[in-house]
Amino acid sequence: MATRKKVHAPSKVKARPQASAKKVVNARSQKPADKANGNGLPQPSTKPWGQAGKALDGVKILDFTHVQSGPTCTQLLAYMGADVIKVERPGVGDITRGQLRDVKGADSLYFTMLNGNKRSITIDSKNPKGKEILNRLIKHCDVLVENFAPGALDRMGLTWEHIHKTNPRMIVASVKGFGPGPYEDCKVYENVAQCAGGAASTTGFREGPPLVTGAQIGDSGTGLHLAFGIVTALYQRIRTGRGQKVLCAMQDGVLNLARVKLRDQQRLTHGPLTEYSQYGEGVAFGKAVPRAGNDSGGGQPGWILKCKGWESDPDAYIYFITQAPVWGPICDLIGKPEWKTDADYATPPARLPRLKHIFSTIEAWTMTKTKFEVMEICNQHDIPVGPILSMKEIAEEKSLRDTGTVVEVDHPGRGKYLTVGNPVKMSDSITEVTRSPLLGEHTEEILIKVLGYSAKDFAEIKASGAITPPEKPAKAEAA
Ligand code: COA
């Protein structure tokens, strides 16, 4: 039984019986009186908040994902209450189970932190009996999510045509590296997407090479986009009754997150980007958006400044924004009250060519305080600042534990570990984070209880090799 950690759930929360999407369809075609009453929706629940089930209760996901992008998507859907059945190759499973292992023999954190709240079934999708089971799962589920290399799903025989014929209501959601075009057949990982989506060319310092960021905007970012696509496709299905293909290319997902840089590319044709510090430094712009170091992306200049202890602590820094409305308090704090009226400093345009000097003056002040002291002082004056938090500090941050953003769960193979809970908090759909499943932990349960196979069928399936790893060839006897 998975260890459950209830997050912000009122005590003794019990999920109500699952309300299927089909019921909602029926509800929407009710009598005109109901329509007038609430746009065809059911009467508002009178149950206490958080006790009317979960947002995606009743939604069944056939999860064919692996590595990071797809699992991010299906874990979010599971956090929202969907029943996620993760299909894995017998004996092998998701490759990340064994990648970056820190505890010998146990599922890695790479896997456990991306596959919470799911059930695992092992199926060899190329075994005839395995194909039969998959077809049953296709009939049973609402959404198939996959992020195989281009063509892999088709090679399993699971073409869109086949799936749509088997279950016309099924939504087939895919992550691919690139959309249709010259690169559509390429295999893609995180940093490839960061580079192809425009993020790397605009990240880093002007004098240095392009940089990738530690936030997994290619993988997790695309998983997020896909989850959004799936939920909207489920919503459209309420009207149309049919499924559809949902595709999110990692290049597109990264570009969507980097859209302000495409904005700047177009602005560049009309003149220099005045909020970039290179403008103030008199460095000419080229033809493409340059790397902006720690310049803030908006119209309010910002930079990362050293704080007390920076000599030994690599994270003793703060992001400081010189927002125009609080320029006066900033000047007072850093001991430059004259800058409030000095024509060279009093207005944002006058400050633009002097940002380097301004930030080094502010830094002389921040270096006398810890990043938390700077934050406390600045917050009193509504000056926006952000301490550079290390992952150690985040792991230990009480407020993140209290909100369920960082959750500790127990795992039979590795003991307690931290995971990131649901970053989206909903007042009527409370997330309970459960540990990731062991490989094939729910195979029997899903075959018998979900798909209706008998005990005899189950024995036959087992013997067919569809759910078990292929037998190792017997060793030749020693002569
Ligand atoms: N039973 C039998 N075979 C299975 C199986 C199962 N349950 N699950 C997977 N396989 C097979 C596939 O059919 C495929 O075989 P084939 O190529 O012979 O047809 C094989 O496993 C490998 O799948 P593939 O997706 O190609 O894995 P990979 O490790 O070679 O590539 C990626 C990994 C991530 C590069 C690739 O999947 C990809 O580009 N995905 C799309 C983009 C993406 O999501 N990238 C980010 C990942 S975080």
> Per residue, what are the HEC states of 331-352?
HHHCCCHHHHCCCCCCCHHHHH
Among all residues, which ones are annotated catalytic? Answer: 219
CA of 149 to the centre of ligand 1 (A): 5
The whole-model pTM stands at 0.91
- What is the mean predicted confidence (pLDDT) over 63-75? 98
Distance in angstroms (rounded) separating the CA atoms of residues 65 and 225? 15
CA of 351 to the centre of ligand 1 (A): 53
Of all protein residues, the one whose alpha carbon is nearest to atom 17 of ligand 1 is 152
Of all protein residues, the one whose alpha carbon is nearest to atom 48 of ligand 1 is 68
- Residue from 72, 129, 148 to probe ligand 1 pocket by mutation (most atoms less than 8 Å from CB): 148
- What is the mean predicted confidence (pLDDT) over 60-68? 98
Give me the pLDDT at residue 471, please: 76
Give CA separation, 84 vs 24, 309, 434, in Å.
21, 47, 12
What integer best gives the mean pLDDT of the chain? 91
Percent of the chain with pLDDT over 70: 90
Of all protein residues, the one whose alpha carbon is nearest to atom 23 of ligand 1 is 148
pLDDT grade, residue 38 (50/70/90)? confident
Residue of 38 and 261 predicted with greater confidence? 261
pLDDT grade, residue 32 (50/70/90)? low
Give me the pLDDT at residue 353, please: 86
CA of 375 to the centre of ligand 1 (A): 46
Q: What is the DSSP string of 24-82?
A: HHHHHT--HHHHHHHTTPPPPP-SPTT-S--TTTT-EEEEE--TTHHHHHHHHHHHTT-
Locate the ligand 1 atom nearest the alpha carbon of residue 190 and give its number: 46
